[in-house]
């Protein structure tokens, strides 16, 4: 592509509404342009990258035995009503009506559509399993689109759905897809980690997220440097000892409980300082609603309650931490001064850390008062022991006991074992070899194709611009011609044209800067646009019969003989 003819405009300044590197650089480099909040146009350069990522995904899906198809983006709401997700997805869906006022939505995902289609085609165990995928635009009216492509309202997703006769067969395909995902992210040159996760709106049991490691990521995940344990913070647990909690009350030799005046100190930090103790010696009592009753969750003062873990602990009842409205409705609750022995508490759940043999400083159930020397068993009770605390860096790994690490990441993929949720709702059933009918067992598998583009830029850039891995770069070579105005100018143009033609003929993809602009602009744009190899051809080089080569990633320079340069460059 000759830059003199390319639909490409680079920006010297960062657009004011871009905060993170990938967003800034993709805008400055003319890869994308914003059309509306969270909605982007893919300019020719960006389109090439997007297509290459999609092609890698396509190749790995095909290799894993999945078959590509395309499902409608405009989907009848009736399907979503049948699965119940019309309500649960709610405002996240873009909705529209046709002329007959029939409700449609723009597909935020496609479990309903594919299940409905498959249900109409397959009816025998002989037809199963089948694994289908599409690479198609998805629409989610996010509460808060941000970070450019990372949380867009329109985004390109690869979504695959597999259908099975039983859970064992699902697990085999799940593993195949899991392996294929690893290959996709490796080929995309991402540092990533598969982590155990909680199911969101999609449902199902087992699932893993693939996190591209990045500071700007929106998700925390926990991983063990010593073994293969990794989980997102919701699902993560620390190693803890439950064995003695139910049988023994810790023998704590402590003074009697003592009430202390702590005026206007509802926060842990302030009270700890006032009492002269560490935050970890405070007992934090978090009020939550459990099916309409008051529950208390007890954790050390330097810890946070993992709400998801709390939910598991009280299941099948539902737990929800108190918010401002709940406290407003319960004026008898001394917010910030609640103690573990609060009389109105129907259920007290505590983390094993609370079972340690020591006295606690905690709330006195009275505004502006705390107590010290509160002792488990003597001064308060615990109904349920459960791992409640959010894992923090350094906590012991639940598998091997080593210190865990916490990192931030961008969720670039997610695989689920769904079970029969959608098959039940949409009547996707098959007949087994005994003539009995069963719902199909499903898996689903997503990759954020457009999000990967942003994740790659986050990982591969420097102060001057993007640094594309060879497999994803829009062009293999960025050829910079510097003819100048001397007698040699015509010769340089001629040589550069010839090199461009021969490289292209040899199968290379070349971005050729043949513009009539200054060398500084050409070099700055080459750095910004980030092709892996820059070729510079000037008067001196032509005179010596060489073209200069510079690797964008390392800055390493060398020279290639112009004679046969295309063959040399393409082969190695």
Partner RNA sequence: CGGGCUGUGGCGCAGUUUGGUAGCGCGCUUCGUUCGGGACGAAGAGGUCCGGGGUUCAAGUCCCCGCAGCCCGACCA
Question: Shortest distance, CB of residue 462 to RNA, whole angstroms?
Answer: 11
The residue among 239, 238, 255 whose CA lies nearest residue 360 is 255
In the complex, the smallest distance separating the C-beta of residue 450 from RNA, rounded to whole angstroms, is: 8
15 to 44, contacts with RNA by CB under 7 A?
15-17, 19, 36-38
Query: Cα-flanking dihedrals φ and ψ of residue 553, to 5°?
Result: -70, -40
The single residue among 105, 114, 157, 533 that binds RNA, judged by CB under 7 A, is: 157
Q: Distance of CA 453 to CAs 26, 51, 100, 482, 551, Å?
A: 9, 10, 39, 31, 21
Residue 400 binds to RNA (criterion: CB under 7 A): no
Q: Do 304 and 351 contact (CB within 8 A), yes or no? A: no
Interaction of residue 485 with RNA, rule CB under 7 A:
yes
* Number of amino acids touching RNA (CB under 7 A): 59
Among 334, 398, 409, 446, binds RNA (CB under 7 A): 446
Contact between 6 and RNA by CB under 7 A: the answer reads: no
Closest CA to 347 of 284, 294, 287, 292: 294
Q: Does 407 bind RNA (CB under 7 A)?
A: no
Cα separation of 137 and 68, whole Å?
15
397 phi and psi angles, rounded to 5 deg: -65, 135
Could you say which of 48, 58, 140, 478 contacts RNA (CB under 7 A)?
A: 140
Min. distance of Cβ 56 from RNA in angstroms?
16
Check residue 261 for interaction with RNA (CB under 7 A). Answer: no
**Three-state secondary structure string covering 479-522:** EEEECCCCCCHHHHHHHHHHHHHHHHHCCCCEEEECCCCCHHHH
Is 541 among the residues that bind RNA (CB under 7 A)?
Answer: yes
**Minimal distance, residue 360 CB to RNA, in Å:** 26
Beta bridge partners of 137: 156
Residue 146 in contact with RNA, rule: CB under 7 A: yes
* 520 near RNA (CB under 7 A): yes
- Interacting residue with RNA among 2, 6, 8, 14 (CB under 7 A): 14
Give the one residue of 536, 549, 565, 566 binding RNA; rule: CB under 7 A: 536
Place of tokens 């002329």: 99
Quick one: 200 or 267, whose CB is closer to RNA?
200
Query: Which 192-211 positions form the footprint of RNA (CB under 7 A)?
Result: 200-202, 209
- Identify which of 321, 347, 318 has the alpha carbon closest to the alpha carbon of residue 335: 321
Distance, CA of 438 to CA of 429 (rounded, Å): 5
- Per CB under 7 A, the list member of 96, 102, 318, 521 interacting with RNA is 521
Give the nearest distance from C-beta 95 to RNA in angstroms: 15
> Does residue 89 contact residue 201 with C-beta atoms inside 8 Å?
yes
Token digits of residue 107: 């597909």
Least separation in angstroms between residue 121's CB and RNA is 26
Full DSSP string of 300-362:
ETT--B-HHHHHHHHTTS-EEE--HHHHHH-TTS-TT---TT-TT-SEEEE-GGGGSSS-EEE
Say whether 303 sits in a helix, a strand or coil: coil
Residues near RNA (CB under 7 A): 10-17, 19, 36-38, 92, 109, 138, 140, 142-147, 151-152, 155, 157, 200-202, 209, 218-219, 411, 414, 446, 448, 451, 464, 482, 484-485, 518-521, 523-528, 536-541, 548, 550
């Amino acid at each position: 592509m000759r830059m003199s003819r390319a639909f490409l405009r680079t920006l010297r300044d960062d657009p004011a509404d871009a905060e993170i590197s990938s967003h800034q650089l993709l805008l400055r480099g003319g890869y994308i342009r914003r059309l509306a909040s969270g909605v982007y146009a893919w300019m020719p350069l960006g389109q090439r990258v997007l297509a290459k990522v999609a092609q890698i995904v396509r190749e790995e899906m095909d290799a894993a035995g999945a078959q590509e198809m395309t499902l409608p983006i405009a989907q009848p709401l009736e399907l979503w009503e049948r699965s119940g997700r019309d309500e649960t997805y709610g405002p996240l869906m873009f909705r529209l009506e046709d002329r007959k006022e029939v409700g449609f939505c723009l597909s935020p995902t496609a479990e309903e559509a594919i299940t409905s289609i498959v249900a109409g085609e397959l009816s025998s165990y002989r037809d199963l399993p089948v694994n289908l995928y599409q690479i198609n635009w998805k629409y989610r009216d996010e509460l808060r689109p941000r970070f450019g492509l990372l949380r867009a309202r329109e985004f390109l997703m690869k979504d695959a759905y597999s259908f099975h006769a039983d859970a064992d067969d699902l697990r085999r395909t799940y593993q195949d897809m899991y392996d294929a995902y690893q290959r996709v992210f490796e080929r995309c040159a991402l540092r990533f980690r598969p982590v155990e996760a909680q199911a969101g709106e999609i449902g199902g049991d087992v699932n893993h997220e693939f996190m591209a490691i990045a500071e700007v990521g929106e998700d925390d995940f926990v991983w063990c440097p010593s073994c293969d344990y990794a989980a997102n913070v919701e699902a993560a647990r620390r190693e803890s000892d439950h064995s003695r909690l139910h049988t023994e009350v810790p023998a704590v030799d402590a003074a009697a409980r003592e009430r202390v005046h702590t005026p206007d100190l509802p926060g842990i930090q302030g009270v700890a300082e006032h009492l002269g103790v560490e935050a970890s010696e405070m007992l934090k009592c978090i009020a939550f609603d459990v099916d309409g009753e008051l529950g208390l969750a007890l954790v050390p003062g330097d810890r946070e309650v993992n709400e998801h873990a709390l939910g598991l602990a009280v299941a099948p009842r539902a737990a929800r931490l108190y918010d401002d409205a709940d406290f407003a409705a319960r004026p008898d609750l001394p917010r910030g001064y609640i103690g573990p022995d609060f009389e109105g508490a129907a259920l007290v759940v505590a983390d094993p850390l609370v079972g340690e043999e020591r006295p606690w400083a905690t709330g006195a159930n009275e505004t502006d008062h705390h107590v010290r020397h509160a002792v488990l068993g003597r001064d308060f009770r615990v109904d349920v022991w459960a791992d409640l605390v959010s894992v923090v860096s350094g906590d012991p790994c639940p598998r091997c006991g080593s210190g865990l690490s916490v990192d931030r990441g961008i969720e670039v993929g997610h695989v689920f074992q769904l079970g029969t949720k959608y098959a039940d709702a949409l009547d996707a059933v098959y007949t087994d070899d005994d003539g009995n009918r069963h719902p199909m067992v499903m898996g689903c598998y997503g990759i954020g194709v457009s999000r990967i583009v942003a994740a790659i830029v986050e990982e591969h850039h420097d102060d001057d611009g993007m640094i594309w891995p060879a497999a994803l770069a829009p062009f293999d070579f960025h050829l910079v011609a510097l003819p100048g105005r001397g007698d040699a100018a015509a010769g340089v143009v001629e040589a550069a044209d010839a090199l461009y033609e021969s490289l292209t003929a040899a199968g290379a993809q070349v971005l050729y800067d043949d513009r009539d602009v200054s060398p500084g602009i050409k070099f700055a744009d080459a750095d910004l646009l980030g092709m892996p190899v820059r070729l510079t051809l000037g008067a001196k080089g032509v005179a010596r019969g060489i073209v200069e080569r510079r690797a964008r990633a390392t800055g390493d320079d060398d020279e290639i003989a112009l004679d046969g340069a295309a063959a040399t460059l393409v082969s190695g």
